[in-house]
Structure 1
């Protein structure tokens, strides 16, 4: 038999400069306030300082979005072979059904164990397509600097790949895939 299995893969994006979110939120807050003030005025002219401020804030938000995308790397993760995953489950048993949501493994430790196993991290790419030299051996140091929210993105991917439902992620041929397909 000549069937070859390619284990499923998922992508996880991480913005390496988390301060950009706060800058964007502050800019957005100022923008909303300026737009509100602008809408309350009856006579808005093109050379009005408030109009210029709204345009400047909109442009600053765009620049921050571009900067955030440039500071984002994408991890390509692959499911582990079943025997490797089962070994990790054995080494990281559930603490209790309540704490680990009924899973047969310790939810707090299995992600880092899987990410540190050879084969989970396929590649790490920058937005320009260049690959970052990063292996499973680099994970522990990198993970120390992640916030809980950032780490959860990896948790969801790892659990989904290794213990989740395997669905074929394709639409039927008859299903529209873009707005232009709709009649």
Structure 2
């Protein structure tokens, strides 16, 4: 295996984080899904709503009515897909990572000298993670104006998905697992 050829073709790790940017569609989806789940739960318990062992209030229908809302749910899923953006992230080079990491040292309480509990990862988490996400996202192309608009609509959970993916790209090794059976035998 030619190391120089492999080195010429080398690239940083990448990942994709899909995010639906239409919160209204997500809310509609959750409402319809809740109705479907509630109907299924009622069908499972006989639809009665009575006390355990007391089926006097139970519905006498042989089968639950067909789920009429599944097509609505499927339609919402398709609409959500149309509003879902695949954010592509790339790991930073070692030096770029080191520079970014050192730029945001953990905060310390001035009176006690103890590290701020929010900064257990060794950085000022409040400032570091937005900078890490911005440095890691390479697609879609983001301008400062786009970041401002995106920050206004992303939930904390959505931002955490991006931040976690960026952290894992840079801090968790995921090379091809070593296999004894796949390695050439070495004479002893």
TM-score, scaled to structure 2? 0.69
Deviations 1:71-111 (A, max 9, x none): 1010110011111111111111112263222x221222212
Query: Following the alignment from structure 2 to structure 1, what is the Cα–Cα distance between the partners of residues 177 and 76?
Result: 34
Two-structure CA RMSD over aligned residues (Å): 2.6
Query: In the TM superposition, what whole-angstrom CA distance separates every residue of 1:10-58 from its partner, at most 9, and x where no partner exists?
Result: 111110101222212211222233344556344457xxxx73xx43211
Uncovered stretches (5+) of structure 2, i.e. residues with no partner: 47-58, 108-114, 182-188
Aligned match of 1:122: 138
Unmatched tracts of structure 1, length 5 or more: 125-133, 175-183
Larger radius of gyration between Structure 1 and Structure 2: 2
Distance 1:56 1:171 in 2: 51
Cα distance in 1, alignment partners of residues 154 and 160 from structure 2:
9
Q: Which runs of 4+ in 1 moved over 6 A?
A: none
Counterpart in the other structure of 2:128: 110
Distance verdict in 2 for CA 1:158–1:135, change over 3 Å = same
Number of positions where the alignment pairs a residue of Structure 1 with one of Structure 2: 154
Q: For the residues of structure 2 that align with 1:7 and 1:169, how far apart are their CA atoms?
A: 14
- Normalized against structure 1, the TM-score is what? 0.71
**2:9 counterpart of 1:7:** no
Whether 1:85 and 2:88 are equivalent positions in the alignment is no
Q: Secondary structure at the match of 1:113?
A: helix
Q: CA deviation at 1:154?
A: 0.9
